[in-house]
Structure 1
Amino acid sequence: MLSRRLTDLAQADRFQLLVSAVKDYAIYLLDSEGRVATWNIGAQLFKGYTADEIVGRHFSTFYTDEDRAAGLPERALHTAATNGRFESEGWRVRKDGTRFWTHVVIDPVIEDGEVIGYAKITRDVSEQRAADRALYESEQRFRLLVQGVKDYAIYMLDPEGNITNWNAGAEAIKGYAADEIIGRHFSLFYTPEDREAGAPARALATALREGKFSGEAQRVRKDGERFWASVLIDPIHDETGKLLGFAKVTRDISEKRRAEEELERSREALVQAQKMEAIGRLTGGVAHDFNNLLTVIRASADFLRRPNVPEEKRTRYVEAIAETAERAATLTGQLLAFARRQPLQPEVFDVCTRLRGLHRIIGSMIGSSVTIQNDLPETEHLVEADPTQFDTAILNMVINARDAMPRGGTIRIGARIVGGVPAVRGHAAASGAFVAVDISDDGTGMSPETLQKIFEPFFTTKPVDKGTGLGLSQVYGFAKQSRGEIDVASQLDVGTTFTLYLPSAAGQVTTVPASAAQLADVSNIPRRRVLLVEDNEGVGKFAAGLLKELGQAVTWVGDGQAALKALNNDAEGFDLVFTDVVMPGINGLELAQLIQQQRPGLQIVLTSGYSHVIAEQGAQGFPLVRKPYSIDGLLAILASGRDESQSSAKRQAAER
């Protein structure tokens, strides 16, 4: 029905109906003098006048007083009649006197070449103008803010990396004025080596790929000076995702870097000073203890030089020298253990069985006022470590616990399997299966300051001549060299718990060979042909003399090359090679491996007081005798060589 009525209306009437219905625009006609001839609902909503109130009045009613005084209404009509259109924005006034911002279009209505009136469309754009104004002011403030920043270079790049704007901070840091740099590529600030390596292109590619690039590197100022810069690059996209360019922020951090470098130099100097202090303390401790030992040896030797020394005193002085030499060997062993340079002879053994075997020795050491309480499971807790060093570590911790309980108490010894080692003294935690041995006491405990130093060599809280300060150092070195760890927890007046961690081992317990003392008891050791390889003249003469005293035929050479030459000159002339490890040129371990390849049946025994090769790689299956060795030790070598030759002879007979 409505459609038919609209169709029936004349075209002019339909147009009038359309205009009258529009609410978002004021659409009305003016006569040739500028008086309002028509008025739609949009005009009424914007301006506040009804048609009855405004039709016939001049349209200048809507202008501000200042615009009317300036003749703006008349100029608008004149421009429309002359140019065919007038368009502008400006303030207008509602009926209630409030002002609003409008967008105005005036078109002339022409009939027979004569202007008979004007069509006027007005839209209230106050909100849009306010938003545009706010955006403009915000952009102006931001621009002023960016331009005012002097500690940061803030500038823009186009998609190719060319500079499009430049702030005062950029000029202050880089040295270029805006008119010198805009339009040039930002790679200008990179060092020649960075440009050659493609660093600028990689920076933009990273920013595009990851949404940001950040880094620190050297950059170059206009005058060629290099400086350290912290750089941020962010890509800028429009609402469609199109790349518009990059925002780049650079800060000069040269002073910060210089401060950090100075701090690092100070730290290194402090560390070096601490190292020198530690070396001084270590040297002083070694000198003190060795001077004590040498005093005994020298005094005993002086007494032995005197004529007509009674047999009883001669025996006592000889025993004193022998015992002191053993103590000196123990001292060097403890130092090497702390430094993780002690040659270890690892075996697979059960920790619980080993601890039970130490029970009697521990009981005799700690006295009647201290009780031992074992908490050891019946199941095997296997580790692969040097059992002798393990025993020494346990005894050192037990002695430390005993000394912490001068009035007596209880020492608890336990073993358990754990799934890892916690982070200790700055060392990272370790995962895996470990056997943890706990030794606890209810003694005096230790302060946090003492706990930080207890594993340092020669540090001790005991009175003078009551401890060397090397016992816990040995435990520390043994743990580290065995790929384990040592931890300690203590509280003053409550007690202390040491926990030794050793990696668990799979397989079976290593069969323990006969001890050196047992082998030394073997009688009728045959005469052997021994190639002695020792670069130290004093030790070489002494060892050759001892072997000859034991009835052996000895050829002594001073290095590995001489040993190989002797073997080549007399291929069947030797039954045993007894070689030092630390030598110039070919070391003892390398020599042993060469001989083993060339003469697989020849018996080889290594000896060393210290060798980083042995400490790091082990003895590679060769027998190892630690210096200082004794006559019993040499007898053990000869006995083991005899056993090996007998076994070899039996194998050869079986093959025949």
Structure 2
Amino acid sequence: MPEALSGAGRFERLVNSVRDYAIYLLDRDGHVASWNAGAERFKGYAAAEIIGQHFSRFYTPEDQAAELPRRALEAAATQGTYEAEGWRVRKDGTRFWTSAVIDPVLDESGALIGFAKVTRDITERRAAERALLESEQRFRLLVQGVRDYAIYLLDPAGHVTNWNRGAQAIKGYNAEEIVGQHFSTFYTAEDRARGEPARALRTALETGKYEVEAWRVRKSGERFRAGVLIDPIRDESGTLIGFAKITRDLTERWQVQQELERAREAMAQAQKMEAVGRLTGGVAHDFNNLLTIIRSSADLLKLPTLAPEKRERYVEAIAQTAERAAALTSQLLAFSRRQPLKPELFDVSERLAEMRQLMQTSVGGTVTLSVASLAGAIVNADRNQFESAVLNLVINARDAMPAGGTLSLVPTIVDGLPAVRGHGGAAGRFLALRVSDTGSGIAPEVLENIFEPFFTTKAANQGTGLGLSQVHGFAKQSGGEIDVRSEPGIGTAFTLYLPLVRGAGPVVAPPRRAPTRPLPSRRVLLVEDNEAVGQFARGLLEELGQTVTWVSNGEAALELLERAHDEFDLVFSDVIMPGIDGLELARAIRSHWPALPVVLTTGYSHALVAEQDHGFALLRKPYSLGGLADILA
């Protein structure tokens, strides 16, 4: 058995076995006194070659000239240790980068007897660190070289910690002016008041990113459109150390987009005007026909020799033609959904039964008409508009079956309004009236346009393109929808959905008041800005036994009421007037003289469409003597 090693022997064996560190001793003057395997590997000398040699031979000539070896030993002796990095030289003359530590070795009395030197070859580590440093420098140069983006860092509180050239170019601040300032400096006053900067950082923290396009402010005070991205930055432990912020000036792109949007609007307006132009022929033709009847009848009524029975016939012709003209105007307004509706309860099956003869006459003898009945199909809608919608669908079906076919109208009740034509559905119970034909069908490329106003596939002067627009407008205004399914060569089915009224009893239409029935005489304040209409309305009211005072605007009406409101029993006012309109006038009267009733009249009004619940009696133009009598009763 070999003799056990002493403690000193074991330590020496340990040191000599270390190959990743050069560990050796120097005497007081710096001569090598011991040499381990690591020293031999790093420096290339065997122990026999180097023991007794001065350790300065490992230093570069320039370090030797600067007496760095001597100074290193002095520093170790006086300061208790010496530690440094630097170039050293191997036996073959090649250089390597080392990390060296020199400690003094003292005897039992504390006297210096030499030095312990530990050296490590860190050439690879230094190369990696230099590569990293160079990479970081290149990255900084890259970031600094970018001028189209503002790229900079914020601390966790939002203060700017660095600033690239792009930030200076876009925002106008140089680094000395802005580093240390809070990034909210770049926000508009209104965004700062809303707390947008804090929200941006909070969003970046909570979601991992904040991205927005918004207005920002340059140093000059000029606003610019910015694309902004903020990302949180965390260290290896996950602790937030700040935010990376990138901003791009999108002002020019935004301006181009605005120009494109204006161009699109202009194109849409041009298309609309083109459509109006296409409409003009059809509508003008229809109105000229109606006006021909009215004008001719009026001329004939002037003849002194006209027989009484003919006089009554021409008067009735004028009345009926005026009704048709009013219906055409209603169609024009309904397609744009600007026509105030007059909803009332009615039974759909009863209305269809009453319209059957008219529908049969419209489709002719070559079309087989089938109209189903459904008990309890009661809706709350404008009855006249409903009839117009049904007739429009029936006439379209007739035109699709020039050689004859079958037309069916089937009402059903459905739970929930289905999602149709890309629109969302709705809860509740609905009346679904399906109008289907066996006609030519509609081509897919045409189907998506059929509800657009003025769109028609008919020849010139054979249609205005308002029929299906009226149906669509009526359905949407009534809280319902219109859907269509069609197959070319097989047929088309339109389904009109209207909200069902639950629990309604039998609907009885109120009898119309005869216009010749005596009315209570009232003192009426008439407010009408159109002179011709004002003269006519005053004449009608006086024919009905009313005492009329006529003013031409809302301001004059209020001035008169301020002086003598107790001299009037009723105010009868147009809605569309310059200055104070009729609805504003009615509300002012309600506020100051709540006991004084107001009747409004209009043929078209944005205000009344937006506010169906205004609470005032409404008489739609053109009104008849009977209609005026009804509302005055």
Please, what TM-score do these two structures have when normalized by structure 1?
0.74
1:253-292 to 2 correspondence within 5 Å?
Answer: 253-277=250-274, 286-292=283-289
- Which of 424, 438, 460 aligns to 1:429? It is 424
Q: SS at the partner of 1:506?
A: coil
Cα-to-partner distance string for 1:438-461 (whole Å, 9 max, x where unaligned):
222232333456445544555443
* Residue 299 (structure 1) aligned to one of 296, 300, 303: 296
Pairwise mapping of residues 593-604 of structure 1 onto structure 2 (< 5 A)? 598=595
Q: Which residue of 2 aligns with 1:347?
A: 344
Give, in whole Å, the separation in 2 of the partners of 1:86 and 1:636: 114
Pick closer, same or farther for the CA change 1:591–1:468 going to 2, 3 Å: farther
Contact 1:540 1:556 in 2 (8 A): no
In 2, Cα distance between equivalents of 1:221 and 1:343? 50
Residue 521 of structure 2 is matched in structure 1 by: 529
Q: Indicate if the aligned counterparts of 1:589 and 1:619 stay in contact, CA closer than 8 A.
A: no
Matched residue SS, 2:441: coil
**Matched position secondary structure for 2:330:** helix
1:560-639 aligned within 5 A: 568-569=566-567, 579=572, 582=575, 598=595, 609-610=603-604, 615-618=609-612, 626-630=620-624
Higher mean alpha-carbon deviation, 248-257 vs 22-31, is at: 22-31
Q: Does 1:470 align with 2:466?
A: yes
Alignment of structure 1 residues 54-453 onto 2, 5 Å? 54-58=46-50, 78-84=70-76, 87-89=83-85, 102-109=98-105, 118-125=115-122, 128-158=125-155, 163-178=160-175, 182=179, 186=183, 189=186, 212-221=209-218, 225-240=222-237, 244-277=241-274, 286-309=283-306, 314=311, 317-352=314-349, 354-355=351-352, 358-373=355-370, 378=374, 380-414=376-410, 415-422=412-419, 424=421, 428-433=423-428, 434-447=430-443, 450-451=446-447, 453=449
Q: Is the 8 A contact 1:36 1:56 kept in 2?
A: no
Structure 2 CA distance, aligned partners of 1:301 and 1:226?
Answer: 67
Distance 1:267 1:357 in 2: 47
**Distance of aligned partners of 1:407 and 1:263 in 2 relative to their CA distance in 1, 3 Å threshold:** same
Query: Bigger CA drift: 19-28 or 501-510?
Result: 19-28
Deviation at 1:296, TM superposition (A): 2.0
**What do the CA deviations read for 1:274-301 (whole angstroms, capped 9, x no partner)?**
4544555566654443222112221232
From the superposition, tell whether residues 288 and 257 of structure 1 become closer, same or farther in structure 2 (CA, over 3 Å): same
Structure-2 change in CA distance of 1:459 and 1:308 (3 Å):
farther
Gaps of 5+ in 2: 552-556
CA deviation digits over 1:521-544, x for unaligned, max 9? Answer: 9xx956743555644433234424
Once the two structures are TM-superposed, the CA of residue 397 in structure 1 deviates from its matched residue by 0.7
CA-based RMSD of the aligned residues comes to 4.9
Q: In 2, distance between residues paired with 1:64 and 1:293?
A: 121
The answer to whether the 8 A contact 1:227-1:254 is kept is yes
Q: Provide the rounded CA distance (Å) in 2 between the counterparts of 1:615 and 1:223.
A: 47
AA of the residue aligned to 1:12: A
Whole-Å separation in 2 of the counterparts to 1:570 and 1:74? 118
Distance in 2 between the 1:624 and 1:596 partners? Answer: 19
1:188-208 deviation digits (Å, cap 9, x = unpaired): 655677678876666556656
Amino acid at match of 1:267: R
- The Cα shift of 1:242 comes to 5.3
Deviates more, 1:177-186 or 1:145-154: 177-186
Aligned length: 608
C-alpha contact (below 8 Å) 2:43/2:89 kept by paired residues: no
Correspondences of 1:510-529 after superposition (within 5 Å): 511-516=507-512, 520=514, 528-529=520-521
Residues 374/67 of structure 1: CA separation in 2 closer, same or farther (3 Å cut): farther
CA contact (8 A) 1:34 1:117 kept: no
CA distance in 2, matches of 1:594, 1:546: 31
- Give 3-state SS (helix, strand or coil) of 1:166's partner: coil
Q: Secondary structure at the match of 2:36?
A: coil
Gaps of 5+ in 1: 548-552, 572-576, 642-656
Which moves more between the two structures, 492-501 or 105-114?
105-114
Instruction: Confirm or deny: 8 A CA contact 2:282 2:462 kept in the other structure.
Output: no
Q: Please give the alpha-carbon distance, in whole angstroms, between the structure 2 residues aligned to 1:419 and 1:96.
A: 93
SS of the counterpart of 1:422?
coil
Kindly provide the amino acid, as one letter, of the partner of residue 73 in structure 2. Answer: A
Q: Contact 1:34–1:77 at 8 Å: present in 2 too? A: no
Q: Does 1:556 align with 2:548?
A: yes
Query: CA 1:407–1:219 in structure 2 vs 1: closer, same or farther (change >3 Å)?
Result: same
The alignment's TM-score, normalised by the length of structure 2, stands at: 0.77
Query: Alpha-carbon deviation of 1:402?
Result: 1.1
In 1: Cα distance, 2:252 partner to 2:427 partner: 46
Residue identity opposite 2:400 in structure 1: A
Instruction: State the AA in 1 paired with 2:398.
Output: R
* Alignment partners' CA distance in 1, 2:228 and 2:620: 60
Deviating more after overlay: 620-629 vs 138-147: 620-629
- Tell me how far 1:104 sits from its aligned partner: 2.9
Shift of 1:483: 2.1
Contact 1:371 1:409 in 2 (8 A): yes
Partner Cα distance (1:117, 1:452) in 2 = 100
Give the residue type in structure 2 aligned to 1:507.
G
Change (3 A) 1:226 1:108: same
Maintained 8 Å contact 1:436/1:501: yes
Query: What amino acid sits opposite 1:56 in the alignment?
Result: A
C-alpha deviation, 1:174, in angstroms: 3.7
Q: Distance in 2 between matches of 1:223 and 1:631?
A: 69
- Inter-CA distance 65–147: structure 2 relative to 1 (3 Å threshold): farther
Q: Is the 8 Å Cα contact of residues 384 and 504 (structure 1) preserved in structure 2?
A: yes
Which amino acid is 1:58 matched to?
I
* 8 A contact 1:334–1:471 mirrored in 2: yes
Q: Report deviation, 1:403.
A: 0.8
Residue 389 of structure 2 contacts residue 470 of structure 2 at CA under 8 Å; is this kept in 1? yes
CA 1:277–1:557: 2 relative to 1, 3 Å: farther
Local SS of the residue matching 2:337: coil
Q: Which residue of 2 aligns with 1:501?
A: 497
Check 1:96–1:274 CA distance in 2 against 1; reply closer, same or farther (3 A cut): same
SS in 2 for 1:56: helix
1:590-644 per-position Cα deviation (integer Å, ceiling 9, x unaligned):
6997999648xx9x98765555565555588887665445566567679xx5xxx
